[in-house]
Amino acid sequence: MGEGFQFIEIVLFAMVAVFLILRLRSVLGRRTGTERPPQRPPYAEPRERTDDKVVPLPDRKGSTPGPDVSYSKDPAVNAGLKSIIGADRTFDTEGFVGGARTAYDMVLASFATGDTETLRALLDDDVYDRFRRAIADRETRGETLETTLVALRSAEIIEARLNARTAELTVKFVSELVSVTRDKSGAVISGDPHGAKTVTDYWTFARDTRSSDPNWKLVATRSES
């Protein structure tokens, strides 16, 4: 008789244990919304930016157009963009153009004020050297340059190519500028301080697609006369 009661007790304890295990599984397997998000591995953490004068072109958001991206009516431009996207999946056309517009404003303002530190961060060596010499010559003559970007009418990629691992994009800028050069006495020697002029510039930006540095450099400039 005692052995019968002992057997029943063992069965009851077993049933209770199974019940508790099932309850624990149902609770541990359910997300309540208060859990901490999973930690990203160290290699996935974005690098900390140390230079606030550098404009990232593009803003590397990780959202890229698909392989059938159609940006321009020119098939050669679209083909070039596809090649760049193939080499760098983080490239974003819209983000690049937005960054190029910002860089255009910054370069014009920095050249006018003689801010070579900002120019150094945005230009490649050859372009920077030309800008630096022009600033030095202007200062030697005692001249000052006043440039006001009234409006940036458009910014459009007109050339896109991948040379080995280097992406190159040429952007056509159409802007309304007031640009005035004054001599030592403050007299106007060129430009019109009261009238804006329509200016068309072609700037080429380049970046090594395998580099961890997301920033593009201005490597060539020309203007439409």
Of 24, 203, 45, 198, the closest CA to residue 122 belongs to 203
pLDDT digits (tens, 9 = 90+) for 104-114: 999 999 999 99
Return the pLDDT at 175.
98
Which residues, in sequence order, are CB contacts of 219 under 8 Å at separation 6+? 124, 126, 127, 168, 204, 205, 206
pLDDT digits (tens, 9 = 90+) for 130-158: 999 999 999 999 999 999 999 999 999 99
Instruction: Say what the pTM is.
Output: 0.71
Written as one letter, the residue type at 4 is G
Question: How large is the average pLDDT for residues 188-204?
Answer: 96
d(CA 94, CA 171): 12
- In this structure, CATH architecture of domain 71-224: Roll (3.10)
Domain ranges (residues) in the chain: 71-224
Share of the chain above pLDDT 70, in %: 69
Of 141, 47, 151, 45, the closest CA to residue 105 belongs to 151
